[in-house]
């Protein structure tokens, strides 16, 4: 039932009624009784019922609006209900809603071609999956098949997905409860200039020392046992860690030296987040495999995949690739992907990400860092930034401890609550707040969101020295 008790107003100024309180109660009841949620103690959560979304905003059933500074899970690059994506999905559904992967499909082929056109170097074939974790699973499988080796190296402070090998590759605490899983994974430390594991004084030194460490890990693990090195081009959930100059080139060189496959996980940063189709394009490196998901179609229909170099693809010219998924290259997902390319090109999305990042976000965050004692570091690229909060700027003690939960995490929960109260949906992880709005956010919305963060950080200042 739709009643005029709560409404939302779309970008054309049209008011829409929202479902009433009884509808909201039903959503809550069904959710609490029957939906089993990700990464949560089921009895301790209270998921917000969301009634509608448009652009960078979504509404709850009470008509409260939230400016989405997390792009959901950093996937909603073109915002909610983008008319071109919605129309593409509707049209495709009217013509051919599904087709099995061993048949050829026009939208699957067109999307693969368009991805190959923007991918670096000789990466020109695409294997489609349902999301990011399975993209990483398949990339690893390809690397193992091609090298005849088994081991995979991945970074501490990384996230690669929740399935068997992907959660083993993950270098954050979410893997612990799932261990042992894939025993052929070894972790290494990546560059993190603000909290250098290598006691470096400069980004250049961080690069040099992090690469020396990686080479040592390769050697100690046995270079001829290592099939692949996988790393997020810009580490996402674990801190928006932009690699210092030369680091990725160094990884490429080590991979070449030891015959190891370099997999770039661009599930979070691919498709415009940092102002390039693929983030590796920003750094001028060419991996052997790139995994993607999220931004390829803003998550309107689940889709991910692996972009494959000619060298790796040709290994399977006469040897069967043993892997597949019923929904690989699903037409509805691919139609939304093709529409994504059209919108990016027509609306100059990559250019606007670079412009808004440099002209609006970076200067404002530097200003915020200068005025709040709780801000230890701000860093990022394009429309992907982290604000790292500390108790003490001198010692850099994090505002909440690593892996904090419950009472330990209270200061960050208080900052998040202040944001929500002011109408901003933040992305908060441990002692960091990330700024990752939809790439279509208006400048006015961006400025308003950063103002809300500025204000909410006074709560964090209360916990800082």
Chain positions contacting ligand PLP, by CB under 6 A: 73, 131-133, 136, 159-161, 232, 236-237, 265, 267-268, 293, 304
Question: Is-contact 61 18, C-beta < 8 A?
Answer: yes
Q: CA geometry: angle at 26 spanning 23 and 28, to 5°?
A: 115
Which CB sits closer to ligand PLP, 237 or 281?
Answer: 237
Find the shortest distance in angstroms from Cβ 158 to ligand PLP.
7
- Residue 72 CB, shortest distance to ligand PLP, in Å, is 10
- In this chain, which residue has its C-beta nearest to ligand PLP? 132
CA distance 97 to 332: 6
Residue closest to 329 by CA, chosen among 337, 340, 321, 341: 337
* Cβ proximity to ligand PLP, 208 vs 265, nearer residue: 265
Phi, psi for residue 312 in degrees, rounded to 5: -75, -40
Return the number of the residue (52 or 383) whose C-beta is nearest ligand PLP.
Answer: 383
DSSP state letter for 406:
G
Cα four-point dihedral sign 447, 449, 453, 455: positive
Q: Of 255 and 267, which has the nearer Cβ to ligand PLP?
A: 267
Please, which residues have CB within 8 angstroms of residue 263's CB and are 6 or more apart in sequence?
136, 139, 140, 143, 228, 229, 230, 231, 287, 288, 289, 290, 291
Strand partners, 265: 232, 291
Min dist CB 29 to ligand PLP, Å, is 27
Instruction: Give the SS3 label for residue 337.
Output: helix
Give me the residue label for tokens 């923007």: 118
**Residue bearing tokens 């860093």:** 379
Find the shortest distance in angstroms from Cβ 24 to ligand PLP: 27
Q: How far is the CB of 152 from ligand PLP (least distance, A)?
A: 14
* Least spacing, CB of residue 132 vs ligand PLP, in Å: 2
Q: How far apart are CA 433 and CA 449, in angstroms?
A: 13
Q: Are strands 384-392 and 375-381 parallel, antiparallel or unpaired?
A: antiparallel
Closest approach of ligand PLP to the CB of residue 394, in Å = 32
Which residue in this structure is represented by tokens 């102002």? 275
Closest to ligand PLP by CB, 89 or 263: 263
- Bridging pattern class, strands 226-232 and 151-155: parallel
198 neighbors 209 (Cβ within 8 angstroms):
yes
By beta-carbon proximity to ligand PLP, the closer residue of 35 and 212 is 35
In the complex, what is the shortest distance from the CB of residue 279 to ligand PLP, in angstroms, rounded to a whole number?
11
Q: Which is nearer to ligand PLP, 228 or 457 (CB)?
A: 228
Closer residue to ligand PLP in complex, CB, 268/457 = 268
- For residues 238 and 374, which CB has a smaller minimum distance to ligand PLP in the complex? 238
The alpha carbon dihedral of 242, 244, 245, 248 has a sign of negative
Quote the least distance from Cβ 128 to ligand PLP, whole Å: 13
């Amino acid at each position: 039932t739709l009643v005029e008790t709560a409404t939302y107003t779309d970008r054309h100024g049209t008011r829409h009624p929202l479902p009433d309180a009884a509808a909201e109660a039903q959503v809550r009841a069904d959710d609490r009784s029957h939906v089993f949620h990700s990464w949560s103690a089921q009895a301790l959560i209270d998921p917000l019922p969301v009634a509608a979304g448009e652009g960078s905003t979504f509404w709850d059933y009470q008509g409260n609006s939230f400016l989405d500074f997390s792009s959901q899970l950093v996937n909603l690059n073109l915002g909610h209900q983008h008319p071109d994506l919605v129309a593409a999905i509707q049209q495709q559904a009217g013509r051919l809603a599904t087709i099995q992967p061993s048949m050829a499909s026009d939208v699957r082929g067109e999307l693969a071609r368009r991805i190959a056109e923007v991918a670096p170097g000789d990466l020109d074939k695409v294997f489609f999956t349902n999301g990011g974790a399975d993209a990483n699973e398949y990339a690893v499988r390809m690397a193992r098949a091609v090298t005849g080796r088994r081991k995979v190296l991945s970074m501490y402070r990384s996230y690669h997905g929740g399935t068997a090998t992907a959660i083993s590759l993950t270098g954050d605490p979410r893997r612990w409860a799932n261990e042992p899983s894939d025993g052929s994974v070894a972790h290494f430390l990546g560059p993190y200039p603000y909290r250098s594991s290598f006691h470096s004084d400069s980004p250049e030194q961080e690069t040099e020392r992090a690469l020396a460490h990686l080479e040592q890990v390769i050697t100690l693990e046995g270079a001829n046992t290592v099939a692949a090195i996988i790393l997020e081009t810009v580490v996402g959930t674990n801190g928006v860690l932009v690699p210092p100059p030369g680091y990725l080139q160094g990884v490429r060189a080590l991979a070449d030296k030891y015959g190891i496959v370099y997999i770039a996980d661009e599930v979070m940063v691919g498709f415009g987040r940092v102002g390039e189709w693929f983030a590796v394009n920003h750094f001028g490196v060419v991996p052997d495999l790139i995994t993607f998901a999220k931004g390829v179609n803003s998550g309107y229909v689940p889709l991910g995949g692996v972009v494959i170099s000619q060298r790796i693809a040709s290994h399977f010219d006469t040897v069967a690739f043993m892997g597949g998924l019923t929904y690989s290259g699903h037409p509805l997902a691919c139609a939304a992907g093709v529409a994504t390319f059209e919108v990016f090109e027509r609306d100059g999305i990559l250019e606007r990400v670079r412009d808004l990042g440099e002209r609006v976000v970076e200067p404002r965050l530097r200003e915020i860092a200068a005025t709040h004692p709780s801000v230890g570091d701000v860093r990022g690229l394009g429309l992907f930034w982290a604000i790292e909060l500390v108790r003490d700027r001198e010692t850099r003690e994090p505002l909440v401890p690593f892996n904090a939960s419950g009472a330990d995490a209270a200061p960050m929960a208080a900052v998040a609550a202040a944001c929500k109260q002011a109408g901003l949906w933040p992305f908060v992880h441990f002692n960091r707040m990330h700024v990752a709005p939809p790439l279509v956010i208006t400048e006015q919305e961006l400025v308003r969101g950063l103002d809300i963060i500025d204000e909410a950080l006074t709560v964090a200042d209360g916990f800082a020295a």
